[in-house]
């Protein structure tokens, strides 16, 4: 063609390149004296219709005029003249052509990798070109690096607009090659659907992915596999291959690659704006999702549009909807799809369920008593001692708005009905979506039957287009395409597809299992095989049988397709509940004995070696009988429940159940043996997570130990996981398992039995309610350990006995037990055990008012816990040291210790520890006079205690919140809160803090001026504090009674109460309380006319309060010192001004009972100084910094 001319105008001078649609030449436009590019459309097999369409689109593209688009000047058909044969030339042939702008440069494909800023610049220019084209109704359809030219000056030019449309009518040439560039093809384009500009945006996303990571998101040797990935597979995050990729840019790429066009950007202009913001670092953070634990779907949800819409409509008014239907009909998938639809539709700003959508899978549970506990675990509601888990659930969910999805209720129908009814009655904003083979049968329930998917009648086969509209066909075709990406519904296979869907009654699970066989069988073979199996099971009456039998027929068929080893493994895997690891399968499902590793084949079945488990397991995964999940860590496997039940029956038929259950129990007993030390060490979090994942298997193993398995293994297992149950809040369940395990016995017991029993008794003591019942457990454990020579077990039991004795005030016995425990742990070199014993010895010292030994014990315990890596031990010891630092007035250290402990409790997920830490920090903020922060922390702690149903914790938090309200002058609120706290305390068996709260009520009544009520509360508090031997509480109550006597003018009685109060507080070492009593003794001296003693006591109180940072206390004492210095009116006026400024900053007004005294002092000073001088001195005092005001008061101590 070189030398030929076109339209007597364009002389072809050199070839530029060749593509799928033809050859491109450099040509010279003789009319305008410029070089152009000429594309000669010469693709083999291009029909006349296809050529005409290309030319129409090229002419449409010629309307585009944009600096980033290669201009199209002309298009049409014409004869070529070969000018090399003379000036007139000869005809060289007829061809379709397109005349385009000639652009010098390289394609993006040829250029290769670019710096990130250059990539973004290129992408924004492409967006500008696309935005212009899309506005004119032109879609590129073949965007790829080869069609993007980079000029020498950095400009971008897009080529070939509209030239890919011929790829739409037929996705393959007669030779089987895909038309278009499959790597950049949008899903809707691959399906042959109508496309708009968002298909170009998808291709742009692929290009950006490639430019930023150096690889394509979807690749492979087979174009059909790549197509399947475009349709079904999520793209790996770009940051996986380029960790330094800005998150904002990654978010843009991921959104461009959305499978659904509606989830992509609406226009190229939006993409350009997002890229600009990404470049500037201003891309908004992704919108947070509604809280939920919904599993990510790994396959498309097909069909069910009507059911989905109807159930969603019903959920608008109904609070309980139960999806009923046969096994395998898709109840669970419909429930999850509805939940996901609600999650996406609600969004983050106005979610339908602000507190989340929560799935509770009940299939692994066989004990109805565990239903409330399982729901609580999924909602992260911890069980607490002395409080029913159902009530804890109700208390937690009452204020919440959420959707609870109870999945697979049929085997626990009564328990689910009771729980659902309780939640619906008590929690007005909770809705429940249940799935079950039968309705729950309670008031307010709306039952919705989930039918099989509509399936065609093979006897009246509809046309292909109508056949493709049946939901059963859509699902089957979709799932077959996962196994065989080249599969399409066609006339040749339509009859077989219709037969499969009809014979399987449109049951989704059955269809999915059948589709998985398409890897190794034709559709016709699948249909024929199913027909054989139905005839075998139904005796010819195939359509009249229950759906459960139909599903069983399908599983029988799948079973028959397995090899002997695959069948053996599958039935043995049925012993696992809730999943398993590869290691567990190798130990439990193989024929190797634990001791020798040798195989022990039974006479009439193939042996299964541990080394063969992985390959056989992978075969079962490939055949869709075993599911594999990959959380953080090793892969985890599980069976669909229907498959597991089927395999369990096969296990029983094979006579292997007892042996496999024994191995299952032995494996988990051994696993928990390893977990025991791990739960006390640096791997604590990992072990907690592992045991939580295996909890259903632990329950199954324990159940077998109680009903046929070796009791010794069950005892070992239960004793080993007691700490897990404690840390994760399964107290009630753990106690029940241990009680049942301990009730088992062997005759005669072996040493192994005794050792396991001793460990289980120690675990039972650890989980006991601390009401005295733990003593018998620890004593029996100690006796067994002594008999067995088990020094570690003896040390642990002695520690438990010492802790219990401390709690019940038997301090000498506690000391003896704990000293012996510590000595044994030291002999054993057990760092953790030493730390635990020292921690308990610290509390013995505190109960003896011996702060120095307590601090020494706790500091050593903390160092040892840190060495062991036990976060719980570190956290509780930090809390103990924080308590001591608070008593000593070192508030800064108290805060640091408490905050570190709080962080550790949060890592562990220990809500009890979190609540205690928050209340401690709130108390600290109160003592420092920061009432706003105090209330914020205390109310968070109160909320957690309410959620956990912890009455003792609620009482403490309410008491402190009420005390803050009292100091703020809101006496009505204070009284309400404190009376609620007292009511909670009266219901407790050991309400240690109850008398403290009573004293707060006494103070509130006193501040209001109600001396009778104040005296009554303080008298009650004094009696209870003496009963509980709470010395600090005794001092607080005596202090209050002294105030009442002082206010009544009975100075002798006041002295009788206040002096012992000071002595007790000095013994307890709480400097805040010491300062309070000194202040009141100073006021007593003032009332007695002893100014020197008054000044001394008040200044000592002021000094302590300054050291503590107790700003409210400073205001009180400055006011009292002003009263003592009335003969120095200027000083007194300044001190009162400083106190007023402090109270204003705190929001702590003068108590009602003291206002008259203050007004009297102010009037006296005003009279002594005159109004003007008084105002000046008072204002000067208000302007004084706190430190200077205190210094001013102390400077005048001896004046």
Q: Which of 280, 295, 329 is the last residue before a domain boundary? A: 280
Q: Work out the pLDDT band at 383, boundaries 50, 70, 90.
A: low
- 122 with 243, same domain: the answer is yes
Mean pLDDT of the chain: 85
**Which has the minimum average pLDDT: 122-126, 449-453, 529-533?**
529-533
Q: Work out the pLDDT band at 252, boundaries 50, 70, 90.
A: very high
Domain count, the chain: 5
pLDDT digits 0-9 by tens, 1028-1045: 878 888 999 999 999 999
Q: Check which CATH number belongs to the domain holding 176 and give it.
A: 1.10.510.10
- 368 with 508, same domain: the answer is no
- 43 with 111, same domain: the answer is no
Cis preceding-peptide flag for 535 (omega within 30 of 0):
no
DSSP states of 65-129: --TTBPPEEEEEEEEEEEGGG-SS-EEEEEEEEEEEE---SEEHHHH----HHHHHHHHHHHHHH
Distances (CA, A) of 1123 to 265, 1076, 1115, 1160, 1194: 74, 17, 13, 10, 14
Report helix, strand or coil for 158. Answer: strand
- 519 with 573, same domain: the answer is no
- 40 with 152, same domain: the answer is no
Give the mean model confidence (pLDDT) for residues 392-398. 86
Residue 969 domain-assigned? no
Give the mean model confidence (pLDDT) for residues 577-605. 70
- For residues 1013 and 726, the model is more confident at 1013
| DSSP class of 21 | T
Q: What percent of the chain has pLDDT over 90?
A: 46
Residue 495 domain-assigned? yes
Catalytic residue among 33, 74, 82, 142: 142
Residue 1008 domain-assigned? no
**Which has the minimum average pLDDT: 310-314, 360-364, 789-793?**
360-364
pLDDT higher than threshold 50 for residue 66: yes
Residues in contact with 1012: Cβ distance below 8 Å, sequence separation at least 6, in sequence order: none
- For residues 96 and 922, the model is more confident at 922
Closest CA to 871 of 1131, 682, 687: 682
In terms of phi and psi (left: phi > 0; alpha: psi -120 to 50; beta: otherwise), the region of 38 is beta
pLDDT digits 0-9 by tens, 306-319: 899 999 999 888 99
pLDDT higher than threshold 60 for residue 600: no
The whole-angstrom separation of Cα 694 and Cα 699 is 9
pLDDT higher than threshold 60 for residue 1198: no
Task: Name the E strands within 329-407.
Answer: 357-361, 402-407
Integer-rounded Cα Rg, in Å, for the chain is: 40
Distances (CA, A) of 902 to 44, 825, 916, 1037: 74, 28, 9, 31
In terms of phi and psi (left: phi > 0; alpha: psi -120 to 50; beta: otherwise), the region of 626 is beta
Q: What is the pTM of this model?
A: 0.59
DSSP states of 509-521: HHHHHHHHGGGTS
Residue 168 domain-assigned? yes
Question: How is the beta sheet containing 402-407 ordered, strand by strand?
Answer: 357-361, 402-407, 430-436, 320-324, 445-449
The whole-angstrom separation of Cα 444 and Cα 525 is 48
Residue 609 domain-assigned? yes
Closest CA to 307 of 328, 294, 325: 325
Cα 1082 → chain centroid: 56
pLDDT higher than threshold 60 for residue 599: no
Q: Which residues pair with 1168 in a beta bridge?
A: none
Residue 848 domain-assigned? no
Give the mean model confidence (pLDDT) for residues 261-282. 86
pLDDT digits 0-9 by tens, 1104-1129: 999 888 888 999 999 999 999 999 99
Contact 450, 331 (CB under 8 A): yes
Q: What confidence score (pLDDT) does residue 354 get?
A: 81
| DSSP class of 237 | P
Backbone φ and ψ of 935, nearest 5°:
-65, -40
Q: What percent of the chain has pLDDT over 70?
A: 89
Contact 608, 589 (CB under 8 A): yes
Give the mean model confidence (pLDDT) for residues 457-485. 88
Contact 144, 189 (CB under 8 A): no
- In which element (H, E) is residue 33 found? none
Domain of 68 in residue numbering reads as 4-101
pLDDT digits 0-9 by tens, 197-241: 999 999 999 999 999 988 898 877 677 778 878 887 788 888 877
Q: What confidence score (pLDDT) does residue 285 get?
A: 41
pLDDT higher than threshold 50 for residue 683: yes
Residues in contact with 1025: Cβ distance below 8 Å, sequence separation at least 6, in sequence order: 995, 996, 1031, 1033, 1034, 1036, 1037
Contact 211, 256 (CB under 8 A): no
Backbone φ and ψ of 765, nearest 5°:
-65, -40
The whole-angstrom separation of Cα 391 and Cα 720 is 29
The whole-angstrom separation of Cα 537 and Cα 550 is 9
Backbone φ and ψ of 946, nearest 5°:
-65, -45
- 116 with 161, same domain: the answer is yes
Q: What confidence score (pLDDT) does residue 178 get?
A: 38
Distances (CA, A) of 559 to 511, 573, 625, 646: 16, 14, 9, 10
**Which has the minimum average pLDDT: 10-24, 150-164, 295-309, 548-562?**
548-562
Span between the terminal Cα atoms of the chain, in Å: 118
pLDDT higher than threshold 50 for residue 193: yes
Residues in contact with 603: Cβ distance below 8 Å, sequence separation at least 6, in sequence order: none
User: Is position 142 annotated as part of the catalytic site?
Assistant: yes
The whole-angstrom separation of Cα 388 and Cα 373 is 10
pLDDT digits 0-9 by tens, 121-141: 899 999 999 999 999 888 988
**Which has the minimum average pLDDT: 4-8, 163-167, 485-489, 834-838?**
163-167
Report helix, strand or coil for 769. Answer: coil
Distances (CA, A) of 782 to 277, 747, 787, 792: 68, 21, 9, 10
3-state helix, strand, coil in the chain (%, to 5): 60, 10, 30
Closest CA to 516 of 475, 545, 570, 546: 475
3-state secondary structure 1147-1159: CCCCCHHHHHHHH
- 420 with 566, same domain: the answer is no
- 224 with 259, same domain: the answer is yes
Judging by DSSP bridges, how do beta strands 627-629 and 357-361 pair with one another? unpaired
The whole-angstrom separation of Cα 207 and Cα 221 is 19
Contact 144, 109 (CB under 8 A): yes
Contact 287, 348 (CB under 8 A): yes
- 80 with 127, same domain: the answer is no
Give the mean model confidence (pLDDT) for residues 16-45. 80
pLDDT higher than threshold 50 for residue 166: no
- 417 with 309, same domain: the answer is yes
Cα 299 → chain centroid: 23
Q: What confidence score (pLDDT) does residue 117 get?
A: 83
Report helix, strand or coil for 43. Answer: coil
Report helix, strand or coil for 28. Answer: strand
Closest CA to 334 of 352, 311, 363: 311
In terms of phi and psi (left: phi > 0; alpha: psi -120 to 50; beta: otherwise), the region of 367 is beta
Distances (CA, A) of 233 to 95, 172, 193, 912: 42, 22, 19, 43
pLDDT digits 0-9 by tens, 896-912: 999 999 999 989 888 88
**Which has the minimum average pLDDT: 21-25, 454-458, 893-897?**
21-25
- 251 with 350, same domain: the answer is no
Contact 557, 526 (CB under 8 A): no
The whole-angstrom separation of Cα 1187 and Cα 807 is 43
- For residues 256 and 49, the model is more confident at 256
Q: Which of 84, 101, 118 is the last residue before a domain boundary? A: 101
pLDDT higher than threshold 80 for residue 876: yes
Residue 1134 domain-assigned? no
Q: What confidence score (pLDDT) does residue 288 get?
A: 39
**Which has the minimum average pLDDT: 128-132, 293-297, 319-323?**
293-297
pLDDT digits 0-9 by tens, 932-945: 899 999 999 999 88
Residue 358 domain-assigned? yes
- For residues 191 and 684, the model is more confident at 684
Give the mean model confidence (pLDDT) for residues 567-590. 94
Q: Check which CATH number belongs to the domain holding 575 and give it.
A: 1.10.10.10
- 333 with 384, same domain: the answer is yes
């Amino acid at each position: 063609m070189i030398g030929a001319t076109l339209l007597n105008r364009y002389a072809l001078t050199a070839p530029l390149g060749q593509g799928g649609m033809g050859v491109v030449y450099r040509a010279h436009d003789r009319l305008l004296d410029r070089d152009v590019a000429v594309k000669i459309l010469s693709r083999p097999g291009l029909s006349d219709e296809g050529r005409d369409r290309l030319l129409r689109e090229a002419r449409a593209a010629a309307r585009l005029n944009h600096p980033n688009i290669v201009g199209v000047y002309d298009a049409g058909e014409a004869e070529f003249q070969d000018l090399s044969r003379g000036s007139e030339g000869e005809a060289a042939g007829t061809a379709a052509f397109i005349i385009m702008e000639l652009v010098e440069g390289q394609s993006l494909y040829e250029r290769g990798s670019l710096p990130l800023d250059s990539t973004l610049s290129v992408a924004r220019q492409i967006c500008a070109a696309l935005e212009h084209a899309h506005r004119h109704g032109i879609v590129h359809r073949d965007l790829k690096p080869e069609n993007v030219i980079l000029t020498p000056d950095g400009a971008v030019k897009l080529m070939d607009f509209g030239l890919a449309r011929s790829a739409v009518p037929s996705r393959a040439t007669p030779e089987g090659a895909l038309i278009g560039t499959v790597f950049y093809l949008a899903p809707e384009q691959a399906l042959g659907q109508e496309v708009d500009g968002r298909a170009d945006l998808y291709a742009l996303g692929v290009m950006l992915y490639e430019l930023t990571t150096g690889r394509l998101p979807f690749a492979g040797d087979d174009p059909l596999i790549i197509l399947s990935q475009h349709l079904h597979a999520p793209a790996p995050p770009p940051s996986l291959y380029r960790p330094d990729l800005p998150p904002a840019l990654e978010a843009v790429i991921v959104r461009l690659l959305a499978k659904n066009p509606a989830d992509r950007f609406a226009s190229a202009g939006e993409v350009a704006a997002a890229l600009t913001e990404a470049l500037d670092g201003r891309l908004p953070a992704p919108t947070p999702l509604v809280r939920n634990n919904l599993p990510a779907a790994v396959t498309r949800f097909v069909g069910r549009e009507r059911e989905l819409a109807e159930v969603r409509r019903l959920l608008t008014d109904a609070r309980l909807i139960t999806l009923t239907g046969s096994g395998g009909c898709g109840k669970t998938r419909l429930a999850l799809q509805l939940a996901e639809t609600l999650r996406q539709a609600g969004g983050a700003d106005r979610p339908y369920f602000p507190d989340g959508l929560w799935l509770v899978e009940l299939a692994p549970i066989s004990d109805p008593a565990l239903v409330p506990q399982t729901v609580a675990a999924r909602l992260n509601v911890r069980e607490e001692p002395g409080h029913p888990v159902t009530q804890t659930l109700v208390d937690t969910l009452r204020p919440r708005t959420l959707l609870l999805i109870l999945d697979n209720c049929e085997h626990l129908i009564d328990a689910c009905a009771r729980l659902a009814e309780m939640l619906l009655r008590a929690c007005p904003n909770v809705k429940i979506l249940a799935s079950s083979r039968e309705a729950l049968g309670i008031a307010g329930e709306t039952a919705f039957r989930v039918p099989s998917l509509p399936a065609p009648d093979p006897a009246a086969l509809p046309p292909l287009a109508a056949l493709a509209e049946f939901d059963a066909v859509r699902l089957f075709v979709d799932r077959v395409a996962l196994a065989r990406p080249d599969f399409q519904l066609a006339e040749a296979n339509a009859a077989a597809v219709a037969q499969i869907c009809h014979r399987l009654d449109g049951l989704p699970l059955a269809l999915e299992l059948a589709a998985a066989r398409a890897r190794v069988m034709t559709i016709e073979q699948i249909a024929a095989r199913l027909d054989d199996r139905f005839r075998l099971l139904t005796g010819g009456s195939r359509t009249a049988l229950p759906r459960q039998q139909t599903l069983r027929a399908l599983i029988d068929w799948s079973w028959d397709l397995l090899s002997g080893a695959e069948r053996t493994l599958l039935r043995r895997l049925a012993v696992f509940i809730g999943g398993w690891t590869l290691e567990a399968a190798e130990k439990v499902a193989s024929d190797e004995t634990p001791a020798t590793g040798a195989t022990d084949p039974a006479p009439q079945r193939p042996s299964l070696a541990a080394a063969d488990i992985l390959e056989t397991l992978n075969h079962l995964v490939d055949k869709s009988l075993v599911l594999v999940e990959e959380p953080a860590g090793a892969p985890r496997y599980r069976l669909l429940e229907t498959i597991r039940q089927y395999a369990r029956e096969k296990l029983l038929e094979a006579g292997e159940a007892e042996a496999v259950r024994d191995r299952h129990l032995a494996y988990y007993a051994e696993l928990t043996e390893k977990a025991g030390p791990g739960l006390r060490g640096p791997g604590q979090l990992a072990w907690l997570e592992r045991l939580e994942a295996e909890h259903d298997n632990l329950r199954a193993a324990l159940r077998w130990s109680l009903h046929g398995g070796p009791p010794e293994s069950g005892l070992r297992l239960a004793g080993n996981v007691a700490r897990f149950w404690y840390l994760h809040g399964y107290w009630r369940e753990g106690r029940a398992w241990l009680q049942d395990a301990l009730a088992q016995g062997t005759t005669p017991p072996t040493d192994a039995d005794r050792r396991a029993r001793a460990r289980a008794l120690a675990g039972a003591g650890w989980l006991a309610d601390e009401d005295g019942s733990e003593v018998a457990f620890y004593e029996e454990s100690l006796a067994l350990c002594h008999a067995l020579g088990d020094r570690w077990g003896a040390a642990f039991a002695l520690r438990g006995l010492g802790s219990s004795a401390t709690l019940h005030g038997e301090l000498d016995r506690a000391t003896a037990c704990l000293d012996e425990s510590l000595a044994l742990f030291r002999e054993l070199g057990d760092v953790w055990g030493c730390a635990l014993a020292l921690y308990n010895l610290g509390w013995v010292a505190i109960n003896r008012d011996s702060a120095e030994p307590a601090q020494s014990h706790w500091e050593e315990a903390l160092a040892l816990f840190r060495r062991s890596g036990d976060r719980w031990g570190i956290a509780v010891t930090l809390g103990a040291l924080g308590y001591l630092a608070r008593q000593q007035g070192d508030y800064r250290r108290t805060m640091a210790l408490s905050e570190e402990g709080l962080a550790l409790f949060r890592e562990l997920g220990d809500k009890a520890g979190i609540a205690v830490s928050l209340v401690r920090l709130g108390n600290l903020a109160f003592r420092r006079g920061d009432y706003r922060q105090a209330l914020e922390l205390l109310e968070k702690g109160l909320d957690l205690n309410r959620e956990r149903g912890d009455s003792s914790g609620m009482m403490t938090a309410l008491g402190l919140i009420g005390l803050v309200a009292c100091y703020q002058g809101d006496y009505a609120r204070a009284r309400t809160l404190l009376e609620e706290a007292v009511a909670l305390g009266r219901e407790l068996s050991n309400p240690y803090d109850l008398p403290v709260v009573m004293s707060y009520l006494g103070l509130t009544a006193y501040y209001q001026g109600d001396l009778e009520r104040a005296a009554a509360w303080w008298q009650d508090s004094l009696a209870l504090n003496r009963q509980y031997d709470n010395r600090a509480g005794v001092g607080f109550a005596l202090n209050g009674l002294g105030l009442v006597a002082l206010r009544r003018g009975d100075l002798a009685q006041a002295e009788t109460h206040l002096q012992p109060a000071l002595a007790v507080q000095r013994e307890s070492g709480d400097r805040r309380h010491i300062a309070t009593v000194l202040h009141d003794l100073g006021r007593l001296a003032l009332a007695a006319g002893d100014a020197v003693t008054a000044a001394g006591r008040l200044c000592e109180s002021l000094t302590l309060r300054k050291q503590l940072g107790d700003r409210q206390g400073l205001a009180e004492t400055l006011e009292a010192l002003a009263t003592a210095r009335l003969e120095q009116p200027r000083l007194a006026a300044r001190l009162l001004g400083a106190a007023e400024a402090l109270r204003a900053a705190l929001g702590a007004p003068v108590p009602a009972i003291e206002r008259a005294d203050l007004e009297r002092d102010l009037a006296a000073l005003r009279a002594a100084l005159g109004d003007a001088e008084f105002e000046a001195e008072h204002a000067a005092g208000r302007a004084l910094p706190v430190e200077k005001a205190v210094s001013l008061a102390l400077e005048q101590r001896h004046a």
